[in-house]
Structure 1
């Protein structure tokens, strides 16, 4: 694949930075080609060339937001999973991104284009956690038979349920409780591992 022209890269980065700002400030409703053009100074023609459909722009903006919210992993299982879940908690409590998730889930049920975006965002949003879990299995920090998909559900599911279904806020103590319950269930049963669960 031929590398992108540097001017295209600069335009894309400037547009996505503006799209992320609009997402945080206004949610999905404010994330339009026109609004991004006005905020970034990038022409609508360029934006439509890069992201022909509104759903393309939404996907790119949310993926960038997810990526920037997650720092590089350290190799420490508990610390890396806590970082991932803390970032998820932040997105669920940030008004614009929380609303964006609600809208995405609602529209995905009736619009195949949004269903595709939701699936892509799910994969993007859980990629780092999947890598952390897979590497932990390889190191022996988690059992070889671990079902990574189920582990993702066990770690992220309670957070999404409490915020988007029960409409309750929660703090980092709740996040740590979910994580440590998962580790107590799945980590090798030895004193050293159990000692690492201390918060």
Structure 2
């Protein structure tokens, strides 16, 4: 996605040596902390070098622009392990929403998401990152909904994008807009309400 330090670039070329990997990890960790503490403007080559102990020459070699460093940081923060499918619609929806909720409740990824949303209208590179995060973040849920519609578990007339909005919208609004936490039954109750309205009746 971004040239200079992405996993795709490293995989395509020669693997980095352990020292380079340690420097990269230290730089990303420092950038993550700076992003939380100071926001977008706080992540610069100078500040990351000071915080991480990694030389600026090394930082510029991997990430010629600070935006590249932030983009890779965001990609890693939103990289989550997909829940294992059980073929039980209710259980699969709950697991998928809980994985999404874990991202929202992680201070670093929550802060990063706020940065992306804030910058996307102003910078096309971050609009691209937001679109990519949105696609990756909803792929699993989209597959569950589409499979359930095909199998008859959900109404065939239900628009998949609308279904995703109905399931993820309340989580996003409650956390990013209202700033509230979540009771233990919040996700199961949300899924049950969704199924009560949209599950196909026998």
Output the TM-score relative to the length of structure 2. 0.72
User: Does structure 2 conserve the Cα–Cα contact (< 8 Å) formed by 1:137 and 1:144?
Assistant: yes
1:23 aligns with 2:32: yes
1:122 aligns with 2:134: yes
Alignment match of 2:156 (pick from 144, 153, 167): 144
User: Does structure 2 conserve the Cα–Cα contact (< 8 Å) formed by 1:81 and 1:132?
Assistant: yes
Q: Structure 2 matches for 1:53-132, cutoff 5 A?
A: 53-132=65-144
SS at match of 1:172: coil
CA–CA distance in 1 between the matches of 2:85 and 2:17? 26
Structure 1 unaligned blocks of 5 or more: 191-199
- Report the counterpart of residue 171 of structure 1 in structure 2: 183
User: Does structure 2 conserve the Cα–Cα contact (< 8 Å) formed by 1:130 and 1:148?
Assistant: yes
- Report the counterpart of residue 44 of structure 1 in structure 2: 59
Q: Deviations over 1:49-79 (max 9, x none)?
A: xxx5544444443333333343333332222
1:7 aligns with 2:22: no
User: Does structure 2 conserve the Cα–Cα contact (< 8 Å) formed by 1:33 and 1:54?
Assistant: yes
CA 1:175–1:22: 2 relative to 1, 3 Å: farther
SS at match of 1:68: coil
User: Does structure 2 conserve the Cα–Cα contact (< 8 Å) formed by 1:63 and 1:124?
Assistant: no
CA–CA distance in 2 between the matches of 1:13 and 1:144? 50
Superposed CA RMSD in Å reads 3.5
SS at match of 1:70: coil
User: Does structure 2 conserve the Cα–Cα contact (< 8 Å) formed by 1:55 and 1:117?
Assistant: no
